[in-house]
Amino acid sequence: MLDVVEDQQSGLRLVRIRNPWPSSDWKGTFADHDAMWNKYPDLKDKLGYEFGPDGTWWMRFDDWVTAFNQLYVCRLFPQHWQQHQITGTWHEMTAAGAPVAKVSDKSDPDPRWFNNPQTRITLETDKPTTVFFSLVQSEDNPRQSTNLMLLKVKGAARLWDCVRSDVVGVALENQQDPQREITFEIQLNPAETGKQYIAVCYQDVPKPEANVACKFFLRVFASEPIKVESVPSPQTLFFSGEWKAQSS
């Protein structure tokens, strides 16, 4: 969608559309050379429009509502904003699901959630920084509910527990129907919550299919300089042994 116009004189509400693959154009009312242009002879000049195979056309708003059933909005960031992308996979151990709520402060930590893919965000300025997260599932995945949680941390260690007092933001507060992309925007103030954060991307179900590999892309946009890096997955070692009469 390139433009929206409501002509006060005629009362027409028009939408200008661009087809990125200009092999075909609109064939309905207000298509190029359509007779409706003759009914409003001054409209073409008002719109600054010329007929031609450029992949764009005007159509009535009501026709646009009828012809299309989905609208995707692309957000454009200022040129000085930074952009980072992390590619990850939920598979086997890293398909750890949503955090399990503690029954009490004395309850054991969630034994699985910390295995989810983690991304470290480091602010490289003392200025408040606006950060925009976009978590996108691969089109090859079976569509599922996902979420993103941002927590403040200290030091360079991996996050091992979901401490609610450290949570600074969650993309979705309530589980929703599966979406290909979820987004989340927050302003981080180093004076209040520090400069170190970890973003945890997870499948928002208690026990996801661990044997199904699901690829995702985490994009991070920031108004000020930041450092974005994947946190290595924990290593798992297994040792065999037994208790005998002498060692028990």
Over residues 83-108, the pLDDT tens digits come to 999 999 999 989 999 887 665 666 66
Q: With 0-12 CB in 10 A as exposed, 13-18 as middle and 19+ as buried, what is 3?
A: middle
| Range name among 8-22, 34-48, 120-134, 181-195 with the lowest pLDDT average | 8-22
Q: Tell me what the mean pLDDT of segment 45-66 comes to.
A: 92
Of 185, 175, 115, 111, which Cα lies nearest the Cα of 146?
175
Q: What is the mean pLDDT of the chain?
A: 89
| Alpha-carbon distances, residue 148 vs 112, 171, 212, 229, 234 (angstroms) | 16, 5, 20, 16, 19
Query: Which CA distances in Å does 77 have to 54, 80, 83, 107, 220?
Result: 27, 8, 9, 43, 11
Residue 147 has pLDDT above 60, yes or no: yes
**pLDDT, mean of residues 48-73:** 91
Span 123-142, average pLDDT = 94
The predicted pLDDT at position 50 comes to 92
Instruction: Give pLDDT tens digits for 185-204.
Output: 999 999 999 999 999 999 98
